[in-house]
Amino acid sequence: MPTDPVCGMFVPDTSDLHLDVDGQRFYFCSKSCMQKYGSPKEELKILRRRLTVGWSLSIPVILITYLLSPSVFPYRDYLLLVLTLPIQFYSGFGFYEGAYHAIRSRSANMDLLVSMGTLTAFVFSTFITFFPSTIPGSEVFFDASAFIITLILTGSFIESLTKARANSAASKLIGMIPNITHFQSQDGEVIDRKTDEIRQGDKILIKPGEIASVDGTIFDGRSEVDESMLTGEQEPVLKFAGQEISSGTRNLNGILRVTVTRTGKDSTVNQIYELIQKAISGRAKVQRIADVFSSIFVPLVIAAALAASLFWGFYLNSTGYGLSLEIAVLAFVSVVVIACPCAIGLAGPITLLISSNVASENGIIIKNTSALDRLSKVTRAVFDKTGTLTESDPEVVEVSPISGITSGEVLQLAASVEASSNHPIAKAIVHRAKEQDISLLATLELAEIPGIGITGKVNNREIKISRAKREGGSIVAVTVDGKEAGTISLSYKIRDSSLTAITGLRSMGIKSTMITGDSLEEAKRVARELGIDDVHAEVLPGDKANIIKKYQEAGDYVIFTGDGINDSVALETADVGIAMASGTDIARDSGDIILLKNDLNHVVYAKIIGEKTIGKIKQNIGWAIGYNVALIPVAGGALVPLFGLSIYSFLPILAAFAMGMSSSSVVLNSLMLRRKIHMLLKPFAGTEKRSLAS
């Protein structure tokens, strides 16, 4: 059964109260929940109106209570009642609504506590107003009822403002997407259309300075693209025909014509936004303590409030104190109002939300927040070699002609034949030829023999390219009419970030391991250069997961970093699977964490983010539980022996103030995580070539 995304109530999927957002249907228990979800700005407006009414009436209420004696103005209590009524039933409406939903779903929440506290104070005061002689000498405390509502609403208002900051990266990302896209019709005419009218397969134009509104493949044009909003990388990337461009990236200096591949909720920006939002519903192990506390909290508080109330009622009555009922009511109100389950409930989710936002700013997408817990326990980092520690495609390092032919000619002949192949070696040769502005020649009678090479006829000459693996990469022999014309050497370049990442992990006490299908010699070469502790070479793709399992059985907590699609089993087996993004479709990638930028230093960043996040959650939970454990006894009267019963004249208001601020303090404390992580990552930024350990 679906749950209401606002209040968590179960709602039958036959309910008429639903909203479709980006192709996903959400069900709601009430119109107000639907409004809260559908138009948060409207919700904030309502909160502001309720707050304005609350403050503009609460101040006169407290002034009249303390400055105007009933002996001077006998109708004072009636005036207070009239002034409090709008606060009680307009400003406080949201609490009653929340309490009603909680009772309906047989649960208990913060709204129930606030409703019980304020209604008790209000009903008692109303009774005293109309029947003053029933409890002689008793005062009304409309001021308590009014201020409880106003102060708690103020706390909610501050909390909603700070929460908006918590989600700033995700909101900024989604807010950047232009509403208008330049659609190119079949006859080449460019028309401006609303972005949500653009469909897969459409042709669009992205002008210099504009942000891509959808994902696509460039079919014409060449330009530098700023991907910093997605990956955190400040250097622009050169993009040209055949390459993919993601929504949220900025075209800097050339016109790009693009075939749309993903729009709306499937686009990269929306996928990232969705994953960040999901962080809220994620869990860290430490939150279990908060969950246990939360599940018994409200009934426990009500029981404590009743116990305090009964104790003071009976005790004061037995001593002959005339206002025992009044103190009993005030003790009950103070306890239910000071208790704040929200601070406990928010401690984990708000920290996870901030942490996911900070991670996304650095090009790290946390798909499974529970992996953050395991990140803090990791003892071994296992890496796939090709495409992870090294670049995924080889590059030409040397062209060696043999005799009577130039290196340019060898490259031209090889590239002309290889142009039709999809083999990574072929792509590297063609790429090098294009880089050197070498024109490709027409090729006939092409034949590719898998694992061997490719042949073809260029200018009536028989060209044969034989591909062979060797240590450190591959070597290609080019023969013309049966005679060797030259060789082309290719190599898988080790990523600049590999060395710093492995050194950084070692400084954290984490051992490194490489798994590769390549030869032992090649594996050892890379391991030697990077200082990797253990090597597994000539491993079949399916065996990577078995090696990880063996490490786990030996007691290691393992991070595996690899390709998001080809290494999916290994990524799922590891305690934390980190995938290097395989393209623009993040949702398809396996793993707990996705790195949008091919920079292995981000594995170290992820570890730091994980550790700091868990630390902050623990701190928040400790603070929230500590707050309740310390202040509930105070509200129950623990300080009466020191300060006397007079503290109850202001305790309910102080309780409301403390309660209103406690959730905000959790949010503010969590926001400090952002600064802390930025501070810790700062020394690593732009120091890929420098050892992290130093």
Partner 1 sequence: MIRFDKSVLKFLGGKEGKIYFLHLRYVPGPCNDDICSPLLKMELLESADPEDEYVAISETPVKIMVPKSKAKEILKQRGDIIIKADRLKRSLTISGIDYLPLNV
Name the site residues for partner 1 (rule: CB under 8 A).
Answer: 3, 5-9, 36-37, 98, 101-102, 105, 107-111, 163, 278, 280-285, 287-288, 291, 294-295, 297-298, 341-342, 344-346, 348-350, 353, 368-370, 374, 572, 575, 663
The separation between CA 236 and the C-alpha centre of its own chain, rounded to angstroms, equals 25
Residue 472 bridge partners (DSSP): none
104/207 with CB nearer partner 1: 104
Beta carbon of residue 418, minimum distance to partner 1 (angstroms, whole number): 42
Q: What is the closest distance, in whole angstroms, from the C-beta atom of residue 486 to partner 1 in the complex?
A: 52
CB of 297 to partner 1, least distance (A): 5
Query: Are the C-beta atoms of 478 and 463 separated by less than 8 Å?
Result: yes
Q: In terms of CB distance, is 194 or 288 closer to partner 1?
A: 288
- Rounded Cα–Cα distance for residues 302 and 605 (Å): 44
Beta strands, E only, 481-575: 483-491, 511-515, 534-536, 558-563
Closer Cβ to partner 1, 341 or 363, answer by number: 341
Task: Select 256 or 284, whichever has its Cβ closest to partner 1.
Answer: 284
Cβ(593)–Cβ(577) under 8 Å?
yes
Between residues 161 and 468, which has the closer beta carbon with respect to partner 1? 161
Q: How far apart are CA 611 and CA 376, in angstroms?
A: 5
Neighbours of 24 (CB within 10 A): 9
Instruction: Provide the minimum distance between the beta carbon of 619 and partner 1 in the complex, in angstroms, as a whole number.
Output: 17
Kindly write down the DSSP assignment for every residue of 630-680, as one continuous string. HHHHIIIIITHHHH-GGGGGTHHHHHHHHHHHHHHHHHHHHHHHHHHHHHH
CB of 664 to partner 1, least distance (A): 12
Tell me how far apart the alpha carbons of residues 77 and 156 are, in angstroms, rounded to a whole number: 29
CB of 52 to partner 1, least distance (A): 22
Contact assessment for residue 561 and residue 644, using Cβ atoms and an 8 Å cutoff: no
**Token pair 């209401």 in the structure block, residue:** 4
**Active site residue ranges:** 384
Identify the CA nearest to 623 among candidates 359, 346, 396.
346
Residue 375 Cβ, how far from partner 1 at the closest point, in Å?
A: 12
- CA 459 to CA 461: how far, in whole Å? 5
Residues 6+ apart with CB under 8 A from 496: 688, 689
With 0-12 / 13-18 / 19 or more C-beta atoms within 10 angstroms meaning exposed / middle / buried, residue 442 is exposed
- Pick 87 or 574: Cβ nearer partner 1: 574
Nearer to partner 1, 80 or 343 (CB): 343
Around Cβ 679, how many Cβ atoms within 10 Å? 9
**Pair 290, 621: CB distance under 8 Å:** yes
